Amino acid sequence: MAGRNGRTVRDLRRANRTVVLQRLYFDGPLSRFELGPVTGLSSGSVSNVVADLVTDGLIEEAGSVDSDGGRPRTLLRVAPASGHMIGVDVGETRVRVELFDLALTELARTERPLTPHRYDVEVIAGHIRHGISEVLADTGIAPERLLGVGIGVPGIVEHTADRGAVVHGQTIGWDAVPLEALLRAGSQLPDAVPYFIDNGAKTLGQAEMWFGGGRGARNAVVALFGSGVGACLVTPEVEHGRAVEWGHLTVRVRGRRCRCGALGCLEAYAGAGSLIDRWREAGGRSPEDTDEETGLTALLAAAHPIEGTAADPVALAVLEETAEYLGAGLSDLINLFQPERILIGGWAGLQLGARFLPAVRRHAASYALRHPAEKVTIEMGRLGPDAVTVGAAILPLADFFARGGRRAEPEPAGPAPAWRAAVRGRAPR
């Protein structure tokens, strides 16, 4: 039966379960007495919801605390073993697959290296499928126990009714790739296990906002630096974040050609591959035939060598110029979105930021409008190189919470969805 606001009793029960689960997850362990004020529910509602969640195995006792003159109060927490998620990071140098319990404790991981510029769709899909099978086999967890598989990818992700998640990755040569359909077509996972595919910068932002440097901020931008450059915007209107193609903002008219084909993009100056190319073009001693991570490490070592060794002036000049480009790019984010915080992550961002963050802050302040620049803090992300994978695993976890701790419904019997039938037995183009 629906109430005056259109919500049914089932909707209300789901919402109550969601708020109790979330408060225990982020603030627990908590007693039933403490859950009332933090959830806004009556003591009777709290008791009913807790009883349901205990019966479902989603929450468990976690000790007790003394009360004021009464019996000790039992503490409750979300049961870590009550659900499992897989997070996948389709990165520039490797595909990383990790299996987590409900507390986001890593239980298993595997990595598949990628040769430079090797983004063959079937290769990537195969790495994901095999990685999922491997982490499940390593832990003995049955596939049907998964809450879902979250995947962070480069590019724009479009969610369609007929083909599932479709990836538009111009810089890696993916033109409307139906990645979800391809994974489903060759997957050993049950149909009821959902895939959640989104931009890697957004999954990075999701992780930092839940568990890292973004906690407590209402307006934040999380920037990702790797081979490419991206960002995730989080505001009260965009609670779970929105990926923005910040790396393809023009920072120099008639500048260097970017991987996307345009001229003067920020990524053409601040992406890891572009940095190494600029060092080499300027006459630097760049090592040949190395991957981007090794090349960036060599560039940083040349600019800041061990004590007693002279710095490479070319490497230092390239990095100092890059700090100015980064600051100018961040100033655009500051002027456009006026965030409270900007966090820098990604494997290249973590290496660069550790040494050039003061210079980046200085340039950002000099290019941005004074008022928003005075209100923003620019810091490093706190979750390290695994942040994209953690954020990808959060996608099915967030969906699980939104359902009130209920698993996704299996598809009804009948003909296979059009997007699955369309790709079954066909190789991707």
The per-residue pLDDT for range 288-297, each reduced to its tens digit, is 767 788 888 8
Complete DSSP assignment for 268-300: HHHSHHHHHHHHHHTT--PPSS--HHHHHHHHH
Length of the chain: 429
Tokens, residue 303? 């600019």
The per-residue pLDDT for range 147-174, each reduced to its tens digit, is 999 999 988 999 988 888 999 988 888 9
Nearest one of 397, 311, 324 to 356, comparing CA atoms:
324
The per-residue pLDDT for range 306-336, each reduced to its tens digit, is 776 788 899 999 999 999 999 999 999 999 9
Contact status, residue 345 vs residue 380, Cβ threshold 8 Å = yes
pLDDT of residue 68: 67
pLDDT of residue 303: 85
Amino acid at residue number 388 = V
The per-residue pLDDT for range 31-65, each reduced to its tens digit, is 998 999 999 999 999 999 999 999 999 999 888 77
Cα 256 to Cα 139, 180, 253, 267, 331, distances in angstroms: 47, 34, 9, 10, 20
Residue 160's beta-bridge partner residues? 164
Judge whether residue 6 has pLDDT over 70: no
pLDDT of residue 239: 61
Higher pLDDT, 311 or 19: 19
Taking residues 171-198, report their average pLDDT: 90
pLDDT of residue 4: 54
pLDDT of residue 172: 85
The per-residue pLDDT for range 95-104, each reduced to its tens digit, is 999 999 999 9
Q: What is the mean pLDDT of the chain?
A: 87
Angle at the Cα of 108 (from 84 to 243), degrees rounded to 5?
65
The per-residue pLDDT for range 234-248, each reduced to its tens digit, is 887 666 678 888 899
Tokens, residue 270? 């601040």
Q: Give one word for 240, left, alpha or beta, with left for phi > 0 and alpha for psi -120 to 50.
A: alpha
Task: Tell me the residue ranges of DSSP E strands in 28-92.
Answer: 30-31, 59-65, 73-78, 84-90
Contact status, residue 152 vs residue 209, Cβ threshold 8 Å = no
Cβ-Cβ contacts under 8 Å for 121 (sequence gap 6 or more): 174, 177, 179, 182, 428
